[in-house]
Structure 1
Amino acid sequence: MKSIRAVGRRTAGLFLALALVSVATGCGGDSSSDAADGGPQKVRFGYIADYSGSVALAVARKQGLWKKAGITPDLKVFTNGPLQVQALGSGDLDFGYLGPGALWLPASGRASIVSVNMLGLADRVIARPGSGIEKPADLKGKKVAVAEGTSGDMILNLALSEAGLKQDDVKKVVMDASTVVTAFSSGQVDAAATWYPLIDTMKKKVPGLKEISRTQDYYPKLTFPNVFVTQPKLASGNPELVKKVTGVLKEAGDWTAAHPEESETVTADFLKLPAGQLKGSTQYVKILPSAELTKLSEDGTVDGWFDELAAVFGRMGKLPEPGKAEDYYLGDLYAEAGKADRS
């Protein structure tokens, strides 16, 4: 199996766009990964405030997994994955969460993947009723709202490619994910590329919206994992800490796989939402137990998921020189993480 290694050989010019993105507030300070005087180790962990982006952290807190591992998490909420990778690169964050649309970042050497969280089934291209859009080919010449660099951007590209269209065949309107909801709901755009649960909100405001393209349309040729990542230098410099954190994530994932409905309630409590607000979230993901993920990591299946998506990002122009998954997915570390605690 592949060894743990830092990855940083891609050209810096690929990330000029990220330089324009401000890091989320409250992420300053020196690295705090090393424990003092043998006490709990502190790690700064980024997440996104939806079910997929926070369920593992919610479960880890509820089940006391951090304390059991001797770790004190400093949790920081972000609105998207690229912001977290920016924070990892500046040393303001130790770990983070990425949806499938941001996987071009680790493929470019900016982060190391320590664990697959779950497989995403939530992304859609949707159209307003009366827009004349019934299929991807009908997007030509239409205004489409999308949060660039996210899984919405990815599903839009896949839909356009399926229809033989190019990016400039549509009027792409770039905005953040929350503004996509507003723009679509108010009729400022004809279509949007986004994901559940945001689409649930849009359905309430736009009855009869149409789903033009879905994640499932591309499965099994393409699989859409969301993942946890760390700084490449932390993975190579302190692999034992990374194993500890990954062990917590594996145990949280196993609990979630065994208690999917309860995990929705636990996550709602973590996010300070009404108990039933995340009900049904698990229908938009596929949760794999760690034993299955370990097997799929060892036989190369998970590498294949990442390599196929890297090819998609290459066609999108985000990855002129995509790395191979074996360079940025730490499958051997994932397989070893938590073994001592479970023996």
Structure 2
Amino acid sequence: MGSTKTTQRLRTVAAGVAVALLAAGCSGGGDDSADGAGAAEEGYEEVIDVNFGYIPDFNGTSLLAIAEDQGLWAKYGIEVTTTSFTNGPLQIQALGTGDLDFGYIGPGAMWLPASGQAKVIAINTLGQADRVVAQPGITSVEDLRGKTVAFPEGTSGDMILTLALEEAGMTKDDIEAVPMEPSSIVAALSSQQVDGAGFWYPALSTVEEQVPDLVTLAENSDFEATVAFPTAFVAGNAVVEDEEEKVDRVLKVIREAIEFRAESTDEAIQLTADFLTIDAAQVEADAGNVQILSLEELDTLTEDGTVDTWLTGMSDYFVGAGMLETEADPADFYTGDLFVGAGE
């Protein structure tokens, strides 16, 4: 589905990829070299290199933090390099250029794999962190008409803003819509340079320190009857097509980390805080906006078609939002069989 719109949207993020890769580098302790003993334990004769992108929040980091702490990379003969990104579209671009093998995206970036730019290899969590917020005195989405509203384009912040406007009988043409990077939105909201935003926690917690009366106009749960907000792990198309062994090993790591997180959530929060070198209370607050799914649940939801239903609903949304020209078949971009098969 490589439409002109898709090309144009990817072009807007392409320039930032090189900067992100150079500036972000590897996370503190983000390299977990697979020693020979670990590789031999699972019968792997060769250690493989993996470049993995993430977003520094609980959704995007917790499984990597667990994998590092529990020695899962070494167990499956992987030497990993992890790189921090500010959003999912940048990671999709890096997957396309081969700078990353795997990455993490929120629901707002799901249109990119749906348009053929990458494959979803695992569903992670259901996001509950997105909000449409406004400065004090604005009490409804309708009040945003004609006002300046920021959002990170192609993300879940963009998605929830679009949904909220649609519910109010409005579109982005009815507001002064301003695409911004997440860090710029924090600054603009905090200094009251914009009237509102489609954005997310934990970044909004920083804004609330400066604007304690920030108003919430819409949140994920307002739309749960029609649209789910799954977060996911993605891989480059060439990786899935040509490197079956690499994908299988990484999925085994992801599966074990998912199981650990569901069974030991408090420890997962602390490990994420340690990985990101931030306060555990901040991660705990972030995790409060996440619906954690167990490995058994994810296998069942994949096999019974529920995940496909989620992805079809998102595809319909993206068509309506103008990001996709036609509805995408989840079978074309979600490799659920590989996810479940990695556990057999």
Question: Common fold, TM-score beyond 0.5?
Answer: yes
Alpha-carbon shift at residue 167 of structure 1 (Å)? 1.2
Report the identity percentage. 45
Matched residue SS, 1:58 = helix
Match of 1:300 in 2: 305
Instruction: Decide which of 235, 238, 248 is 1:233's aligned counterpart.
Output: 238
1:14 aligns with 2:6: yes
Deviations 1:256-308 (A, max 9, x none): 11111221111010011134331222210111111111111111100110110
Q: How far apart, in 1, do the equivalents of 2:324 and 2:121 lie?
A: 21
Match of 2:74 in 1: 67
Residues 11-20 or 87-96, more deviating = 11-20
Matched residue SS, 1:10 = coil
Task: Identify unmatched segments of 5+ residues in structure 2.
Answer: 26-35, 37-43
Matched residue SS, 1:116 = strand
Alpha-carbon shift at residue 152 of structure 1 (Å)? 0.5
Q: How far apart, in 1, do the equivalents of 2:172 and 2:331 lie?
A: 30
Q: How far apart, in 1, do the equivalents of 2:108 and 2:240 lie?
A: 23
Alpha-carbon shift at residue 62 of structure 1 (Å)? 0.6
Alpha-carbon shift at residue 89 of structure 1 (Å)? 0.6
Is this contact kept in 1: 2:130–2:160, CA < 8 A?
Answer: yes
CA RMSD, 1 decimal:
1.8
Q: How far apart, in 1, do the equivalents of 2:331 and 2:287 lie?
A: 29
Residues 291-300 or 98-107, more deviating = 291-300
In the superposition, the TM-score normalised over structure 1's length comes to 0.90
Q: Which amino acid aligns with 1:138?
A: D
1:195 aligns with 2:191: no
Q: How far apart, in 2, do the equivalents of 1:230 and 1:60 lie?
A: 18
Alpha-carbon shift at residue 13 of structure 1 (Å)? 5.6
1:95 aligns with 2:102: yes
1:57 aligns with 2:57: no
Alpha-carbon shift at residue 10 of structure 1 (Å)? 3.1
Match of 1:129 in 2: 136
Q: Which amino acid aligns with 2:257?
A: A
Matched residue SS, 2:21 = coil
Instruction: Decide which of 108, 115, 124 is 2:122's aligned counterpart.
Output: 115
Q: How far apart, in 2, do the equivalents of 1:257 and 1:276 lie?
A: 18
Q: Which amino acid aligns with 2:100?
A: L
Q: How far apart, in 2, do the equivalents of 1:223 and 1:305 lie?
A: 6
Q: How far apart, in 1, do the equivalents of 2:274 and 2:216 lie?
A: 30
1:272 aligns with 2:265: no
Q: 1:271 to 1:281 in 2, by over 3 A?
A: same
Instruction: Decide which of 183, 188, 212 is 1:178's aligned counterpart.
Output: 183
Alpha-carbon shift at residue 12 of structure 1 (Å)? 6.0
Is this contact kept in 1: 2:134–2:195, CA < 8 A?
Answer: yes
In the superposition, the TM-score normalised over structure 2's length comes to 0.90
Q: How far apart, in 1, do the equivalents of 2:311 and 2:205 lie?
A: 28
